[in-house]
Amino acid sequence: MSRPDYSLSLLPNFPIAKQQAHTLSTHNKIRTDNYYWMRDDDRQDEQVLAHLHAENAYCDEQLAAMKPLQNTLFEELKARIVKDDNSVPVKDGKYWYHSEVRGDDEYSRHYRSTSIQADNKELLLDVNVLAEGFEFYELGEVALSPCEQLMAYSEDTEGRRIYNVRFKSLETDEMLPDVLENTEGQVVWANDNKTVFYVKKDLKTLLGYQVFRHELGSEQSQDVMVYEEQDSSFFMGLGKSRDESLIIIDLASTETNDTWVLDANKPTGEFKALMPREDGHEFDVDKLGDTFYIVTNWQAKNFRLMTATSETIADKTQWFEHTAHRENVLLEGVELFNDFLVLSEREQGQARFVVVNRQGNRMALEFADPCYYAAIAMNPEPDTRTARIYYSSLTTPGSLYDVDLATGEKTLLKQQKVLGSFNADDYQSERLMVTARDGVKVPVSVVYRKDSFKKDGTNPLFQYGYGAYGYTIDPSFSSSSLSLLDRGFVYVIAHVRGSEMLGREWYEQGKKEHKQNSFSDFIDVTKALVDQGYCDSNKVFASGGSAGGLLMGAVVNQAPELYCGVGCHVPFLDVLTTMLDESIPLTTNEYDEWGNPNDPQFYNVIEAYSPYDNISAQNYPNILVTTGLHDSQVQYWEPMKWVAKMRELKTDSNILVFKTDMDAGHGGASGRFKSLEEKALEMAFFIALLN
């Protein structure tokens, strides 16, 4: 039987974008952008849409030979997913809440019942019904009133992360006439069961900057603005304290936090600052009973846990230290229970939990895998002696445990089922430390199939990275990756600087003037894995999305010869132009991450690596670029411009294809099966290139 031919070769009729010179001048430096015309904030320009459609058509034509492979992969991915599945019920108040998904449904149904057996379940929402008629649908937040008879839920039908909030009576099963438009999606109920608070968005910058109070039965036009943030570098969120006594406005820029609170029993009162705003003070605060718990970086780069009362919370010098700062341990958060605290910590890149009882005794929860992901799951009830914890590794499917907080004993409630021939014993994970060019050791998570891996430089390798915002990509299980592992690929996560994998310093060494470290780390990991025999130097593939797409853009400019193929998804590529334009959503929030290029120092830093500005006349790898027309975080024109300029300047005959989902936003396609098509597309692209 002959092997199917999925091999790809460049088709000559790729779209050629018109060039229209646009001059940009900053700090007496002149840049000419021939593709600036591709920006259309309204997404209605006929020339722009025509070019995107032409790119989509070319992508389909170029990849037609691999379509059977893509279909095969899609069916593989889909076949591993349990079609009929339930979540583990979680108790919140008088009811147990869970969700179910059935057959080929793209979305879940949400239920509640009066017992964990769910034998008298009550349907709250059928998201499949809500999504009917929409090409894109995302259910945002679902919030029950304190009396548990009213429900608010938010929905986004465009992918722009602009949510409308609707209300339902659970007593009558009828929708209420109230609709709150253009919100962030969060809804917090006051304790009177009739007042809610929400954040309204600026429809141009897409920043949430105003908090409104709404009383059920009234028009949105009558809502009262109770807080407005004047500093556009802050993101805004709403929440409720653990004891439900306070409504909380959380304000966060990259390097500073601020918190305002209101008595949840007095919704018509005024929000008050919990403490003075202080540049560089990052903290997260919660309240249980008479005590505030503050995870803070005050005199503690890796954070420490402090406690305070209502009388002392505004004065840091009166706080009491509960858990001290440690040079080698990052304190990531705390979960509050009536008789216990659970600290989330990270040491040498490994997550762990420490349970602290009322007597101050500490107990660490241990995990066996060499690299893994663990997180506190949903624990709505503070009055419990067990905590839900989620655990996964590169070889262990997602697992939900109840942990006895007194003994540490774990009870497995559910483990993700992987249909087909999956056997965890067939796979092996490793944790490596690769020495980068400046002598720093970079953590690397590796997984492969035992019977197909030989450390002799023959395997293909897929390397993933992100490296920004302090966000850590932990090594967790992915049933999708099995399609690569079973075809002999080695799967790698490079934990480059810019995350908090090795603590706060690891993040700070991958941002602003140190951003180049993220790119160098990724490249150096690739070189080390080749040198150590983990892969064939001609069969290396890389992928990243959003800030990880920036990583890909910089890497292919700086070391294109290392990669056979690259996936670049919703990528942040035109960094310099975007960061100079405060009208673009999120720009002002990002100054503390990338630096403000209105300052000549940071202009030069960003100019040196900005992927769009550094495309040159050289050979590039085969590249697959994807985006969503309605992306609210990285605008569609960034990859559109990048591809056009790449086509203009690159000197190779490798494949460059660009696919725009005309209905989706930053998160890609909605629905559990539709989103698999995007994964199958990239996998097929890489596998086909092996031919």
DSSP code for 547: H
Q: By C-alpha distance, which of 636, 573, 628 is closest to 159?
A: 628
Does 322 participate in catalysis according to the annotation? Answer: no
Which one-letter amino acid corresponds to residue 117? Answer: Q
Phi, psi of 423 (to 5 degrees): -140, 115
Which contiguous run of DSSP H or E holds residue 50?
Answer: helix 46-62
Which of 631, 632, 661, 670 does the annotation list as catalytic? 631
Q: Are 400 and 413 in contact (CB under 8 A)?
A: yes
Alpha-carbon distance 373 to 393, whole Å? 6
Q: Around Cβ 338, how many Cβ atoms within 10 Å?
A: 14
Alpha-carbon distance 432 to 533, whole Å? 13
CA dihedral 625, 480, 630, 567 (to 10 degrees): -10
Classify each residue of 635-660 as buried b or exposed e, where b means 16 or more C-beta atoms within 10 Å of its C-beta: bbbbbbbbbbbbbeebeeebbbbbbb
Alpha-carbon distance 529 to 448, whole Å? 13
Q: Are 124 and 151 in contact (CB under 8 A)?
A: yes
Alpha-carbon distance 422 to 257, whole Å? 45
Could you tell me the CA-to-CA distances from 67 to 297, 578, 660, 682 in Å, in that order? 51, 35, 17, 11
Q: By C-alpha distance, which of 665, 677, 578, 660 is closest to 625?
A: 660
Does 546 participate in catalysis according to the annotation? Answer: yes
Which of 98, 110, 569, 666 does the annotation list as catalytic? 666
DSSP code for 589: G
Which one-letter amino acid corresponds to residue 368? Answer: A
DSSP code for 501: T
- Hey, what are 503's tokens? 């603590």
Q: By C-alpha distance, which of 419, 679, 400, 428 is closest to 534?
A: 428
Alpha-carbon distance 684 to 690, whole Å? 10
DSSP code for 317: G
Q: Give, to the nearest 10 degrees, the angle between helix 46-62 and helix 637-649.
A: 60
Which one-letter amino acid corresponds to residue 224? Answer: V
Q: By C-alpha distance, which of 302, 161, 167 is closest to 237?
A: 161
Q: Around Cβ 19, how many Cβ atoms within 10 Å?
A: 14
Does 666 participate in catalysis according to the annotation? Answer: yes
Q: By C-alpha distance, which of 77, 93, 197 is closest to 675?
A: 77
Q: Are 494 and 444 in contact (CB under 8 A)?
A: yes
| CA 668, chain centre distance (Å) | 12
Q: Where would I find the H helices in 401-546?
A: 482-485, 504-508, 516-531
Q: Are 594 and 610 in contact (CB under 8 A)?
A: no
Count the residues in the chain: 691
Which of 546, 610, 632, 670 does the annotation list as catalytic? 546
Show which residues are catalytic: 546, 631, 666
